[in-house]
Amino acid sequence: MAQPLVPELLRRHLAELAERDERADGRGRWDARNLSVEVGVLERAEGSARVQMGDTIVFAGIKFQIQTPYPDRPDEGGLMTSAELRPVAGRHLEPGPPSPESIEMGRVVDRGIRESGCIDTKDLCIIAGEKVWQVIIDCFAISDDGNLFDAFALAAIAALHNSTLPGERFDVGEDRPLPVNKTPIMCSFHKVGGRFVYDANREEELGGDERIHITLGADDHVHSLQKGLKGTFTASEFAEIMDVTKQRCSELRKIIDSL
Amino acid sequence: MGYGDVQMIDENGNRVDGRKAGDIRPIEIELGVVPVADGSASVRWGTNYVIASIYGPMEAHPRKIQRQERAVLDVRYNMAPFSTTDRFRPGFNRRSREISKVTAEALESVVLLELYPRSKIRVEIEVICAEAGTRCVGLTAASLALADAGIPMTDMVVSVASGKINDVVVCDLNKEEDNYGEADLPMGVLPNTGELVFLQMDGDLSPEQFQEAWDYNMDAAMKIHVLMKEAIANKYGGES
Amino acid sequence: MSSSGASDGRTSAASGSLVIPGDKISTEIDGKLGHGVMKLNGSIIATKLGYVVEKGGELSVTPLHTAYFPRPGDLVLGYIEGMRANIWFIDLGAPFNAILPMSLAPMKVEFGATRDAMNVGTAILCRVQEIDESHSSVVTMKGMGLRKVNSGFVDSVAPHLVSVLSSGNEPIINKIKDSSNCRVILCANGRIWVDGEPEGIRIVRDTLAFIRENADSDKISSKVANYLNKGNGE
């Protein structure tokens, strides 16, 4: 990504707003933007979801492939997550090889899903030692107005819940739903004007500093954490964020599980 | 499966998806689907689903692509990994590069490039779901997105591909017809003048069949042009 | 396309109707041509998506969306993107950056001291002095009200809405100023500088968001008036 111009006035204004406990778009500190989640939106994918948060729009598609298992884990399948931030999604996005930002996004979303154990890789076994399923999650940004991390993570788990293992197409049995035994949810926080806020839009990301991403699974178990960009935070700031995360993850989990 | 071996049109003229020889697949057009872009459009065409977004005009970087007397179109056609039945690997793809080039050349024939010297206009075409004729859907979506962005053009571009199945010429090939048929003729048409900005062909067509396929494309382009105007009028209302 | 609306028989597309690029507007090719139209094959056609306007014998199309192209005399809000020993490069949100020469700065600047005077990221109110044929421009900060901006914040609307906000007997932008009690400067490049009390700023922000959501409505002026009145009545 090209280094965007960050107007001095923006940072100053965001700090003034933060002092008054306000955000530029009128939201409260922990408020989310309008959210919409749809599943089963991509006909060629074996599972899919479209997530819109404010003006941020992403797709996640699940594709399955068959591969030979690793010799030391003959009855376990594989999981791979990739995130694409193509130029379609923003003026600031340039063509070229995957940016460090998009690679980080893919890996952070992957860890949240993988470490939660929501997919038991033994469920992906077809013939031990010969054939196992590989699950590929492709996160794809269409419009970047901030907080792609959460949009990708939400779309990914919604798409997984919506997936069908295509046994018939690969001639290895009947089609069956992909077993997904829990719903990990990611919440991201950006330090804007000196304090953390939830679901930052692009202007807040631009004028803000460091960010923290937390993925929680069932019973508030922590499955992944990531701190990004330059800056510091205290234990009490983190504890405050964690409280908000527990609340928000629970809300989002209900939404995903009800689709 | 051989050329022409698969039965795709019956004695009553019904194609596999129920269409007759001259019928177009269902099309849905929407403008302004990428909120952060300067202009955008999505086109659903059969099972195809393509999104195009526009950024610009902007300063042309890198320097070497800049032209003193006019704008350049920087077009990227790309297929999303989940757009095809077998996952489409991200990364450099020759077919996508070729389509990007001919799409840019088609659009450069209608955009008033001289109004923006030394600048570039980015055209980002993403195939979200593919079902035959994606290059046509992409070119059509790009022209809608350019209109949405307020980029001046001499006309819209409507692109459609006709072809031949079981020795019968048909309009707007679907997936099976594209895979197992005997010819494919995609065209990009300017509906107000009937001029062409895009033309490719592969397969085997007799002179008469070629004319038939050509006429089907022209006819389809006019119909799709009407759909474009309806979609735009529905969104923005007819009067100011 | 609309079928009603004033049409004097010459025009194929009535004034006020919505047109897309390529649509024939008139077969009378002697008339004056404004923005968004051109002569082609013996007719006048639309080159942009927008509404046909016929005013004083001149045909034009008001586009639904457009980029900002600097015109001499425009008041604009820019951000300093970079500098050399004797000029600054200004981002105006236009296809090309503008340049601000040392001689047109608001303060006396020594050669090589541009960065000390105004650094990258500074917001400035300036005026477009001249443009060349590729839409690059020179801006000046010598003039009334032209200065560095140190307080408040910058919101924006799409450039084609600037005339909507500033036209008429009771311009929308004035209504916003009155309702919010804020200092509001609407610039030609769509950027809007706002400064005032928090409550007033909230009104301005919300009204601009409302305007952006209803930007494509034909009755935007009355809608905004209603919106502001409702707010004041609460």
Rounded Cα distance between A176 and C193, Å, is 58
Quote the minimal CA–CA distance from A8 to chain C in Å: 5
Quick check: A20 and C209 CB within 8 A?
no
Residue C224 has a pLDDT of: 83
Average pLDDT across chain C, whole number? 86
**Long-range contacts at B19-28 (CB < 8 A, ≥ 24 apart):** B19/B170, B19/B172, B21/B168, B21/B169, B21/B170, B21/B171, B21/B216, B22/B170, B22/B171, B22/B216, B22/B219, B23/B171, B23/B172, B24/B160, B24/B171, B24/B172, B24/B220, B24/B223, B24/B224, B25/B172, B25/B174, B27/B224, B27/B227, B28/B231
Of C81, C149, C153, the CB nearest to A5: C81
Averaged pLDDT score across all residues of chain A: 94
Q: Name the residue range of residue A35's domain.
A: 8-257
The nearest alpha carbon in chain B to A140 belongs to B80
The correct answer on CATH 2.40.50.140 for the domain covering C75-149 is: yes
In this complex, is the C-beta atom of B76 within 8 Å of any C-beta atom belonging to chain A?
Answer: yes
pLDDT band at C5 (very low <50, low <70, confident <90, very high): very low
Residue B35, chain A, CB below 8 Å: the answer is yes
Identical topology for domains C75-149 and C153-233: no
Quote the CA–CA distance of C136 and C43 in Å, as a whole number: 32
| Cβ distance of B152 and C48 shorter than 8 Å | yes
Q: Which of C91, C118, C153, C212 to mutate to test the interface with A (most CBs of A within 10 A)?
A: C153
Closest CA to A24 of C64, B50, C202, C233: C202
Question: Cβ contacts of residue C4 below 8 Å, gap of 6+?
Answer: B239, C14
Residue C67 is predicted with a pLDDT of: 85
Bridge partner list, C17: B239
Looking at A42-56, B18-32, B39-53, C148-162, which range is the least confident one? C148-162
Q: Residue C232 has what pLDDT?
A: 52
Q: What's the pLDDT at C78? A: 95
- How far does B148 lie from chain C, in Å, by closest CA? 7
Q: Give the C-alpha separation, A109 to B91, whole Å.
A: 21
CA distances from A184 to A107, A227, A245, A254, C69 (A): 15, 18, 12, 11, 48
Q: Which two tokens stand for residue A218?
A: 């069932």
Whole-number Å distance between alpha carbons of C164 and B2: 62
Stretch C151-180: mean pLDDT: 88
DSSP structural state of residue B65: G
Judged by CB atoms closer than 8 Å, whether chains meet at A87 and B35 is answered as: no
pLDDT digits (tens, 9 = 90+) for B220-238: 999 999 999 999 998 886 5
| Segments forming the whole domain that contains residue B225 | 27-233
pLDDT level of residue C6 (50, 70, 90 thresholds)? very low
* Residue predicted with more confidence, B41 or C56: B41
Residues A191/A211, Cβ–Cβ less than 8 Å: yes
Per the domain annotation, does B137 fall within a domain? yes
**Per-residue model confidence (pLDDT) at position B238:** 54
Structure-derived torsion over alpha carbons of residues B167, B172, B177, B179, reported in degrees to the nearest 10: 120
| C-alpha span between A50 and A36 (Å, rounded) | 8
Report, as an integer, the average pLDDT of A21-35.
94
Encoded tokens for A155 = 């779309």
Please give the structure tokens belonging to residue A51: 């997530």
Interface test with B, best of C37, C54, C134 (most B CBs within 10 A): C134
Please check the confidence at residue A226 and state whether its pLDDT lies above 70. yes
Nearest beta carbon to residue B36 from set A45, A55, A59: A55
Closest partner residue to B117 among C47, C48, C133, by Cβ? Answer: C133
C205 touches chain B (CB under 8 A): no
- Tell me the mean pLDDT in the region B134-148: 98
User: A183-187, A238-242, B8-12, C215-219: lowest mean pLDDT where?
Assistant: C215-219
Measured from the Cβ of residue C11, the count of other Cβ atoms closer than 10 Å reads 21
d(CA A133, CA B174): 30
The pLDDT of B94-100, averaged and rounded, is: 97
Question: Above 50 in pLDDT, residue C63?
Answer: yes
CA distance A51 to chain C (A): 20
What are B55-80's pLDDT values in tens digits?
989 989 888 989 989 999 999 999 99
Chains touching C by CB (3 or more pairs below 8 Å):
A, B
pLDDT at res. A188: 97
Query: Is residue B125 a contact partner of residue B52, using CB atoms and an 8 Å limit?
Result: yes
DSSP, res B134: H
A119: closest CA of chain C, how far (Å): 41
More confident residue, B160 or C121: B160
Q: Is C48 on the interface with B (CB under 8 A)?
A: yes
Q: Which residues of B touch A62 (CB under 8 A)?
A: 82
* B53·A84 Cβ contact <8 A: no
For B197-216, give the DSSP string: EEE--EE---HHHHHHHHHH
* Lowest-pLDDT range of A200-209, B166-175, C126-135: C126-135
**pLDDT (0 to 100) of residue B190:** 98
- What is the least distance, in Å, from the CA of A221 to any CA of chain B? 31
pLDDT bucket at C2, cuts 50 / 70 / 90 = very low
By percentage, how much of chain A surpasses pLDDT 70? 98
pLDDT value of residue C161: 86
pLDDT at C159 over 60: yes
**Does the pLDDT at position C153 exceed 90?**
no
* pLDDT: which is higher, A158 or C95: A158
Q: List subunits contacting chain B, requiring 3 or more Cβ pairs under 8 Å.
A: A, C
Distance from CA of C181 to the nearest CA of B (A): 31
Domain count of the fold of chain B: 1
CA distance B193 to chain A (A): 31
The pLDDT confidence band at residue C92, using thresholds 50, 70 and 90, is very high
Q: What is the mean pLDDT of residues B162-176?
A: 96
Return the pLDDT at A26. 87
Q: Which residues are paired to B49 by β-bridges?
A: B44, B129
Q: Which of A159-163, B8-12, B87-91, C177-181 has the lowest mean pLDDT?
A: B8-12
Cα torsion C51, C56, C59, C64: sign: negative
Average pLDDT value over all residues in chain B: 94
Question: Which of A8, A20, A25 has the CB atom closest to C122's CB atom?
Answer: A8
Q: CA of A7 to nearest chain C CA: how many angstroms apart?
A: 4
Question: Rounded to the nearest 5°, which phi and psi values hold at A121?
Answer: -60, -15
Question: CATH number of the domain that B213 lies in?
Answer: 3.30.230.70
CA-based nearest residue to A50, from A155, A186, A163: A155
Query: Quick one: average pLDDT of B126-146?
Result: 98
pLDDT level of residue B239 (50, 70, 90 thresholds): very low
Residue with tokens 């046994």: A167
User: Which of A240, A183, A237, A193 minimizes the C-alpha distance to A215?
Assistant: A183
Asked if residue A4 has pLDDT above 70, the reply is no
- Please judge whether B82 and A63 are an interchain contact, meaning their C-beta atoms are less than 8 angstroms apart: yes
Contact A9 C81 (CB under 8 A): no
**pLDDT for residue C221:** 76
Q: What are the DSSP calls for chain C, one per residue?
A: ----S---SSBSS-TTBEE-TT-EEES-TTSEE-TTEEEETTEEEE-SSEEEEEETTEEEEEESS------TT-EEEEEEEEE-SSEEEEE-SSSS-EEEEGGGSSS---TT-HHHHS-TT-EEEEEEEEE-TTS-EEEE--STT--EE-SSEEEE--TTHHHHHH-SSS-HHHHHHHHHT-EEEE-TTSEEEEES-HHHHHHHHHHHHHHHHTTT-TTHHHHHHHHHHHHHH-
Q: Which residue is closest to C79 within chain A, CA to CA?
A: A7
Structure tokens at C171: 């311009």
The mean pLDDT value for A202-230 works out to 93
Check residue C188 and give its pLDDT.
96
Q: Cβ–Cβ of C202/A5 closer than 8 Å?
A: no
Which one of C88, C155, C195, C201 would you mutate to disrupt binding with A, by most A Cβ within 10 Å of its Cβ?
C201
Architecture of domain C153-233: 2-Layer Sandwich (3.30)
State both tokens at C53: 């306007």
pLDDT of residue B240: 41
Contact B57 C95 (CB under 8 A): yes
pLDDT at C234 over 70: no
Q: How many independent structural domains does chain A possess?
A: 1
Out of B141-145, C21-25, C36-40, C219-223, pick the least confident: C219-223
Under an 8 Å CB criterion, which residues of B touch C? 38-39, 56-59, 110, 112, 116-119, 147-156, 190-193, 228-229, 232-233, 235-240
More confident site: B221 or C135: B221
What count of other Cβ atoms lies within 10 Å of the Cβ of residue A19?
11
Q: Shortest CA distance to A81 belongs to which of A229, A241, A224, A255?
A: A224
For residue B158, give both structure tokens.
């409507």
Question: B36 and chain A: CB distance < 8 Å anywhere?
Answer: yes
What's the token pair of residue C36?
């968004």
Nearest Cα to A151, choosing from A99, A108, A210? A108
Site from A44, A50, A134 to mutate, B interface, most B CB atoms within 10 angstroms: A44
Nearest CB to B154: which of C22, C64, C216? C22
Q: Do C205 and A7 touch (CB under 8 A)?
A: no
Of C21, C36, C64, the CB nearest to B156: C21
Whether the per-residue pLDDT at A257 is higher than 60: the answer is yes
Task: Give the Cα-Cα-Cα angle C192, C198, C199 (nearest 5 degrees).
Answer: 100
Is B188 contained in some domain?
yes
Distance from CA of B206 to the nearest CA of A (A): 35
Q: Under CATH, which number does the domain C18-63 receive? A: 2.40.50.100
In angstroms, the separation between the Cα of residue A26 and the nearest Cα of chain C is: 7
Amino acid at C96: F
Every domain of chain C and the residues it spans: 18-63, 75-149, 153-233
Cβ contact, residue pair C49, B112, below 8 Å: no
Distance of alpha carbon A127 from alpha carbon B21, whole angstroms: 46
* pLDDT given at position B2: 46
SS (H, E, C) A72-117: CCCCCCEEEEEEECCHHHCCCCCCCCCCHHHHHHHHHHHHHHHHHC
- B23 neighbors B172 (Cβ within 8 angstroms): yes
Closest CA to C140 of C126, C121, C125, C124: C126
Nearest to A145 among B35, B80, B87 (CB): B35
Across A27-52, average pLDDT: 97
Question: For residues C14 and C189, what is the distance between their CA atoms, to the nearest angstrom?
Answer: 30
Reported confidence tier of residue C14, pLDDT bands at 50, 70, 90: confident
A149: helix, strand or coil: helix
pLDDT of residue B6: 81
Query: Does pLDDT of A205 surpass 60?
Result: yes
Q: Do residues C181 and C198 touch, judged by C-beta distance below 8 A?
A: no
Cα-based torsion angle of the residue sequence A9, A15, A18, A20 in order, rounded to the nearest 10 degrees: -80
Quick one: pLDDT at residue C163? 85
Q: Which residue of C has its CA nearest to B155?
A: C22
Measure the CA–CA gap between B107 and B146, rounded to whole angstroms: 9
Write the CB contacts of C126 (distance below 8 Å, at least 6 apart in sequence): C75, C76, C77, C78, C90, C98, C100, C139, C140, C141, C146
Name the residue among A51, A76, A62 with its Cα closest to residue A161. Answer: A62
Choice among A108-122, A170-184, C44-58 with the minimum mean pLDDT: C44-58
Report the phi/psi class of residue C56: left, alpha or beta, with left for phi > 0 and alpha for psi in -120 to 50.
left
What is the greatest pairwise CA distance in chain B?
Answer: 59
